[in-house]
Structure 1
Amino acid sequence: MKIGLFFGSFNPIHVGHLIIANTMATTTDLEQVWFVVSPQNPFKKSASLLHEFDRFDMVQRAIADNASLKATDVEFHMPKPSYTIDTLIRIQEKYPQHSFKLIMGEDNLSQFPKWKNYEQILEYTGLYVYPRPNAAEHGYKHHPAVTFVEAPLLDISATFLRNHIKKGKSIRYMVPEAVEQLIRLKKFYL
């Protein structure tokens, strides 16, 4: 099976993430998309992160009704911070019967050469890239290991959602109903 790996903090998961994952699963040769919930992104501060198990729970609730989408906690069992190349190797070792592609937003391409072993990532899995507003120049438009996938441009961020929650404002329609209920129930981000 050919599987797309969509890495992120998902703090919280929102409709933008879901639309990208579903677009990848339904318009490309990918048979599934797995959300790789990252305990700690090496480029982000961990202080604003909800506990990894809570974020994983939100992702599972968000995708429960879609057989093409799965969540994996593979990085929870790895040294922190985990680097994408190490996770890709771990996943391939764990699931040798599958092939994998890394899904990434175009806004990450300008920073991609700063990633640990980025050339190896290109060789190992290649990239499926979705457009992002105001993406910087990157030089990967014609790279043979990079496939650009047409997807809706949604400029919604988890930071915006967390700020909305802190101010007591509605996040309805920006996150799945099951995620909104969990956020309210557990008083996340307050």
Structure 2
Amino acid sequence: MKKTGLYFGTFNPIHIGHLVIANHMVEFSELDEVWFVITPQSPFKTKQSLLDNHHRYQMVFEAVHDYPKLKPSKIEFNLQQPNYTIHTLAHLDEKYRYEHKFSLIMGEDNLKGFHKWKNYEAILENYSIYVYPRISNGDLEHQFKNHPKIHHVDAPSMEISSTFIRKQHHLGKNVRPMLPERVWKYMDEMNFYR
């Protein structure tokens, strides 16, 4: 049974920071592979400036082209919206019960707000969480310190954001070094975020 880490995000666009973290997780933790779960809509975000699902999926597909342990996933595209992580996990467990043991991947900043997630107690009871550091994260919520299901992975801290890339690209700045080459080509050809 493969240990599969689920890295959720809108990936609008996916950038080298996402790739570095995902690759670090498969190389330096117990995870065998990482799935980039492209979320159509987050309960905490509006859909402003969000590219169509298939374009974001294609960019993730392009980004992981040379990384066999990293995979794009559109599992949430057909789930009822707004969707919650607990529903996605239940759906994945039903579909891949004997093939994959799923875990979550999140930044320390997301862990701080984890207690606000729908059914977070059930997630913690049934799934491990692999946490990567974020710069200027402050103290973690006390209830999650030293939790047996939460594994801190000393991945590189990268202060690159999709929001920054979109904004600067729109202003005509060169954001190419922050994107995997195949993602840059697709984004440029499609004239996204101009």
TM-score by length of 1: 0.98
What does 1:69-148 correspond to in 2, within 5 Å? 69-97=70-98, 98-137=100-139, 138-139=141-142, 140-148=144-152
> In the aligned structure 1, how far is the partner of 2:193 from the partner of 2:45?
17
Structure 2 residue corresponding to 1:172, chosen from 163, 171, 176: 176
Structure 2 counterpart of 1:2, which letter?
K
- After superposition, give the CA deviation of every residue in 1:61-99 in whole Å (9 maximum; x if it has no partner): 000111100011000010011100100111111111210
Q: Secondary structure at the match of 1:173?
A: helix
- After superposition, give the CA deviation of every residue in 1:143-170 in whole Å (9 maximum; x if it has no partner): 1110000000101100100011101111
What does 1:48-63 correspond to in 2, within 5 Å? 48-63=49-64
Q: What residue number does 2:47 align with?
A: 46
Q: Secondary structure at the match of 1:143?
A: coil
Instruction: State the Cα RMSD in Å.
Output: 0.8
> In the aligned structure 1, how far is the partner of 2:105 from the partner of 2:136?
18
How many corresponding residue pairs? Answer: 190
Identity of matched residues, %: 49
> In the aligned structure 2, how far is the partner of 1:71 from the partner of 1:124?
23
> In the aligned structure 1, how far is the partner of 2:26 from the partner of 2:166?
27
> In the aligned structure 2, how far is the partner of 1:171 from the partner of 1:95?
38
Gaps of 5+ in 2: none
> In the aligned structure 1, how far is the partner of 2:137 from the partner of 2:89?
25
Structure 1 residue corresponding to 2:190, chosen from 179, 186, 189: 186
Q: Secondary structure at the match of 1:7?
A: strand
> In the aligned structure 1, how far is the partner of 2:156 from the partner of 2:25?
11
Q: What residue number does 1:23 align with?
A: 24
> In the aligned structure 1, how far is the partner of 2:102 from the partner of 2:33?
10
Runs of 4+ that moved beyond 4 A: none
TM-score by length of 2: 0.96
Structure 1 counterpart of 2:132, which letter?
Y
- After superposition, give the CA deviation of every residue in 1:12-68 in whole Å (9 maximum; x if it has no partner): 000000000000010011110000000001111112211111000000000011110
Structure 1 counterpart of 2:163, which letter?
T
- 8 Å CA contact 1:110–1:136 kept in 2: the answer is no
Gaps of 5+ in 1: none
Q: Secondary structure at the match of 2:151?
A: strand
Structure 1 residue corresponding to 2:162, chosen from 154, 158, 162: 158
> In the aligned structure 1, how far is the partner of 2:148 from the partner of 2:11?
29
Q: Secondary structure at the match of 1:4?
A: strand
